[in-house]
């Protein structure tokens, strides 16, 4: 009990600290007149709203703590808005990108940013499923050089979190999904290429930074087929579609990563032609977005 009390106090302290910083940043921008463009105005408003919500977050949301690899970890839970006792529901675990807050508020910040679910407010997506928002250590997930923990430690945390979720909530074990953005999207790729991938029904990544799959060794999935959706912008300036050096080390080009992740397609001449055409559309014709739906099923 004392352990949970200490964790709760730590979360409240971190939330207040983050909230004060965000509100201060928003006010400074207003005073400096730095809200002239719609994008800057939207960013300022987001900081003010997020700051206000972080002040009351521990009272209006469900945050859980667990001990994993001798480290206290946490995740935010949004239960189905139409929850009924005695029923089980699918769970969507969403992994945030890096560099947002760097505290136990990162998962909540992602919830507020995506707006798939919201505290105290029903959305078009928040019924019939759980949304889970775990927090990476230091605001990042394992893989890039700036991560504070190893890949095995973060994988162990996800495994422990799933066990914790199943013991506390009415979750359908056959319908657990993983999705993420940027650093979180890359970590979803890491999950899919690990033994832990067998515990997920499907995966989705948006602008994923796949730091753990650069050398082209392929993806040793734990089962087949393994549904994986990757969405990437051809003009992404942070995680380049054509690969290169990212903020946390070298990154593969998305078409190459796609081919290496699905070696079972390697002998399919039509697949290879589609892959070349997809690359040319982005690199030569200037198409801005590509979306792949990949199934490890020849």
pLDDT tens digits for range 130-187? 999 999 999 999 999 999 999 999 999 999 999 999 999 999 999 999 999 999 999 9
CB under 8 Å to 2, separation ≥6 — which residues? none
- Please tell me the predicted confidence (pLDDT) of residue 214: 78
With pLDDT > 70 as the criterion, what percentage of the chain qualifies?
Answer: 64
Q: Which residues pair with 63 in a beta bridge?
A: 76
Residues 10-22 pLDDT 10s = 555 555 555 555 5
The DSSP annotation for 165-192 comes to: HHHHS-EEEEEEEEEEETHHHHHHHHHH
- Mean pLDDT, the chain, integer: 78
- Please tell me the predicted confidence (pLDDT) of residue 118: 83
| C-alpha span between 191 and 127 (Å, rounded) | 26
Angle between helices 38-60 and 106-114 (to 10 degrees): 120
Residue 26 has pLDDT above 80, yes or no: no
pTM of the complete model? 0.77
CB under 8 Å to 270, separation ≥6 — which residues? none
Residues 215-226 pLDDT 10s = 766 677 777 778
Residue 111 has pLDDT above 60, yes or no: yes
If you ran DSSP here, which 8-state letter would residue 291 be given?
Answer: E
* CA-wise closest residue to 294 among 194, 209, 221: 221
Which range has the worst mean pLDDT, 90-99, 100-109, 183-192, 242-251?
A: 100-109
Higher-scoring residue by pLDDT: 240, 31:
240
As a whole number of angstroms, the longest Cα–Cα distance in the chain is 61
Please state whether 128 falls in left (phi above 0), alpha (psi between -120 and 50) or beta: left
The number of beta carbons lying within 10 Å of the beta carbon of residue 288 is: 11
- Please tell me the predicted confidence (pLDDT) of residue 269: 46
Which range scores top for mean pLDDT: 36-40, 69-73, 160-164, 237-241? Answer: 160-164
């Amino acid at each position: 009990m004392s352990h949970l009390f200490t964790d709760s106090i730590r979360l409240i302290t971190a939330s207040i600290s983050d909230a004060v910083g965000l509100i201060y940043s928003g006010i400074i921008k207003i005073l400096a007149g730095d809200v002239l463009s719609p994008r800057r105005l939207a960013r300022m408003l987001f900081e003010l709203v997020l700051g206000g919500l972080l002040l009351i977050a521990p009272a209006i949301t469900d945050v859980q703590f667990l001990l994993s690899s001798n480290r206290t970890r946490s995740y935010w839970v949004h239960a189905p808005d139409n929850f009924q006792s005695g029923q089980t529901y699918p769970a969507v675990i969403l992994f945030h990108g890096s560099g947002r807050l760097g505290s136990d508020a990162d998962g909540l910040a992602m919830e507020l940013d995506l707006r798939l679910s919201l505290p105290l407010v029903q959305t078009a997506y928040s019924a019939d499923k759980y949304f889970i928002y775990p927090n990476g250590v230091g605001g990042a997930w394992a893989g890039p050089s700036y991560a504070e923990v190893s890949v095995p430690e973060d994988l162990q945390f996800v495994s422990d979190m799933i066990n914790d979720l199943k013991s506390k909530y009415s979750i359908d074990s056959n319908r657990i999904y993983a999705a993420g953005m940027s650093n979180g999207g890359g970590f979803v790729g890491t999950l899919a290429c690990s033994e832990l991938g067998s515990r997920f029904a499907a995966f989705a990544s948006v602008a994923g930074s796949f730091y753990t799959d650069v050398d082209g060794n392929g993806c040793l999935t734990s089962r087949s087929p393994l549904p994986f959706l990757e969405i990437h912008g051809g003009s992404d300036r942070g995680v380049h579609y054509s690969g290169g050096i990212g903020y946390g080390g070298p990154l593969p080009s998305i078409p190459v990563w796609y081919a290496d992740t699905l070696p079972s397609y390697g002998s399919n001449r039509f697949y290879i032609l589609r892959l070349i055409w997809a690359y040319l559309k982005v690199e030569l014709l200037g198409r801005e977005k590509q979306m792949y739906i990949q199934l490890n099923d020849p």
